[in-house]
Structure 1
Amino acid sequence: MSPLPEALTAKPSVRPANPCFSSGPCAKRPGWSLSALSDALVGRSHRSAEGRARLNEVITRSRAMLGMPEEWVLGIVPASDTGAVEMALWSILGTRPVDVLAFESFSATWANDIIAQLGLPDARVLEAGYGEIPDLAQVDWARDVVLTWNGTTSGARLPYDAAIPMHHDGLVICDATSAAFAMDLPWEKLDVVTWSWQKVLGGEAAHGMLALSPRAVERLVSTPAPRPLPKIFRLTGSKGLIEGIFRGDTINTPSMLCVEDALDGLRWAEEAGGLMGLIARSEANLAVVAEWEARSDWARFLAANPDHRSSTAICLRIVAPWFTALDHATQVKAAKQIVSLLDREGVALDVGSYRDAPPGLRLWGGATVEASDLQAVLPWLDWAHAQVRGQYA
Structure 2
Amino acid sequence: MSSLAKPARRPANPRFSSGPCAKRPGWTPDALSGAFLGRSHRSKEGKARLMLAITRTRELLGLPHGYHVGIMPGSDTGAFEAALWSLLGARGVDVLAWESFGKGWVTDIVKHLKLADVRVLEADYGQLPDLGLVDFTRDVVLTWNGTTSGVRVPDGDWIADDREGLTLIDATSAIFAQPIPWTKADVVTYSWQKVLGGEGAHGMLILSPRAVARLECYVPDWPLPKLFRLTKKGKLDAAIFEGETINTPSMLALEDYLDTLAWAESVGELAGLTARADANARVLFDWIRRTPWIANLAADPATRSNTSVCLRIVDGGVLALPAPQQAAFVKALAQRLEAEGVAFDIGSYRDAPAGLRVWTGATVEAADVAALTDWLDWAFAMEKAALGS
Shift of 1:391: 2.3
What is the rounded CA distance, in whole Å, between the counterparts of 1:126 and 1:161 in structure 2? 17
Letter in 2 for 1:235: L
- Extract unaligned runs of 5+ from structure 1: 1-5
Aligned pairs (5 A) from 1:163-202:
163-202=158-197
Corresponding residue of 1:253: 248
What CA distance in whole angstroms lies between the structure 1 residues aligned with 2:88 and 2:384? 49
Give the TM-score, by structure 1 length.
Answer: 0.97
Give the structure 1 partner of residue 113 of structure 2.
118
**Cα pair 2:294 2:314 within 8 Å, conserved:** yes
Bigger shift: residues 46-55 or 73-82: 46-55
Instruction: Give, in angstroms, the shift of residue 327 of structure 1.
Output: 1.5
Equivalent residue for 2:312?
A: 317
Q: Does 1:266 align with 2:261?
A: yes
**Displacement of 1:239:** 4.9
The alpha carbon displacement at 1:7 in A equals 2.1
Match of 1:94 in 2: 89
Bigger shift: 260-269 or 330-339?
330-339
Tell me the alpha carbon deviations over residues 104-133 of structure 1, each in whole angstroms, 9 at most, x when there is no partner.
Answer: 000000011110111111101000111111
**What's 1:212 paired with?**
207
Match of 2:238 among 234, 240, 243: 243
Task: Find the residue that maps to 1:76 and give its secondary structure.
Answer: strand
Say whether 1:352 aligns with 2:362: no
Question: What SS does the aligned partner of 1:9 have?
Answer: coil
Task: Say which of 329, 338, 342 aligns to 2:337.
Answer: 342
Question: Aligned AA for 1:219?
Answer: R
Measured against aligned partners, the alpha-carbon deviations of 1:247-284 in whole angstroms (never above 9, x if no partner) come to: 11000111010000000000000010000000000000
Contact 2:217 2:234 in 1 (8 A): no
Residue 167 (structure 2) pairs with residue 148 (structure 1):
no
1:35 partner SS:
helix
Q: Secondary structure at the match of 2:151?
A: coil
Q: 1:107: which partner in 2?
A: 102
What residue in structure 2 maps to residue 20 of structure 1?
15
Note the C-alpha offset of 1:51.
Answer: 1.1
RMSD between superposed Cα atoms in Å: 0.9
Alignment partner for residue 62 of structure 2, among 59, 67, 70?
67
Q: Which amino acid aligns with 1:33?
A: T
Name the amino acid aligned to 1:76: I
CA distance in 2, matches of 1:112, 1:138: 21
Q: Is the 8 A contact 1:147 1:175 kept in 2?
A: yes
Measured after TM superposition, the shift of residue 95 of structure 1 is 1.5
- 1:341-379 CA-to-partner distances (Å, cap 9, x unmatched) read 000000000100001111111000100000000001101
Whether 2:325 is the aligned partner of 1:330: answer yes
Q: What CA distance in whole angstroms lies between the structure 2 residues aligned with 1:160 and 1:54?
A: 34
Is contact 1:232–1:251 with CA below 8 Å preserved after alignment? yes
Deviations 1:128-173 (A, max 9, x none): 1111111110111100000110000000001124411111000000
Deviations 1:185-231 (A, max 9, x none): 01101110000000111000110000001110010111112211011
Structure 1 residue 13 displacement after superposition: 0.6
Q: Secondary structure at the match of 1:8?
A: coil
Instruction: Write the distance in 2 (CA, Å) between the matches of 1:14 and 1:99.
Output: 48
Tell me the distance in 1 between the aligned counterparts of 2:325 and 2:192: 36
In 1: Cα distance, 2:64 partner to 2:155 partner: 17
- What TM-score do the two structures reach when normalised by structure 2? 0.98
The gaps in structure 2 that reach 5 residues or longer are none
What is the percent sequence identity of the aligned residues?
58
The answer as to whether partners of 1:95 and 1:226 remain within 8 angstroms in 2 is no
How many pairs align?
388
Match of 1:284 among 275, 279, 284: 279
Structure 2 partner of 1:304: 299
